[in-house]
């Protein structure tokens, strides 16, 4: 989930995800973008909202994130 959030933040921010020396990360990013409909479709995204529950050994937190191009991000925990 964290990787998905980082990838989407990178795409919404207009950045390029680079995974130097990590073919696994590059392959995972490529597969994920393909599953979402391809790079053109991802680049047409204007905004997104995601939410998740984060669990640690003794805590559970609710996580919400809203992002909008070019550089607007709101996170609530």
For residue 22, the model assigns a pLDDT of 64
For residue 68, the model assigns a pLDDT of 93
Q: Is residue 65 a contact partner of residue 51, using CB atoms and an 8 Å limit?
A: yes
Residue 13 belongs to what domain range?
A: 2-76
The DSSP result for 15-64, as a single string, is -----TT-HHHHHHHHHHHHHTT-HHHHHT--EEEEEEEEE-SS-EEEEE
Query: 19 pLDDT exceeds 50?
Result: no
21-76: per-residue pLDDT in tens? 568 888 898 999 999 899 999 889 899 999 999 888 888 989 899 999 888 999 98
Handedness of CA 12, 16, 22, 23 (dihedral sign): positive
pTM of the model: 0.51
How many domains does the chain contain in total?
Answer: 1
């Amino acid at each position: 989930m964290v990787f998905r959030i980082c990838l989407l933040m990178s795409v919404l921010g207009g950045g390029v995800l680079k995974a130097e020396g990590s073919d696994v990360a590059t392959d995972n990013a490529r597969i994920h973008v393909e599953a979402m409909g391809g790079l053109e479709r991802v680049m047409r995204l204007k905004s997104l909202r995601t939410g998740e529950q984060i669990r640690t050994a003794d805590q559970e937190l609710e996580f919400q994130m809203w992002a909008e191009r070019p550089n607007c991000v709101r996170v609530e925990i």
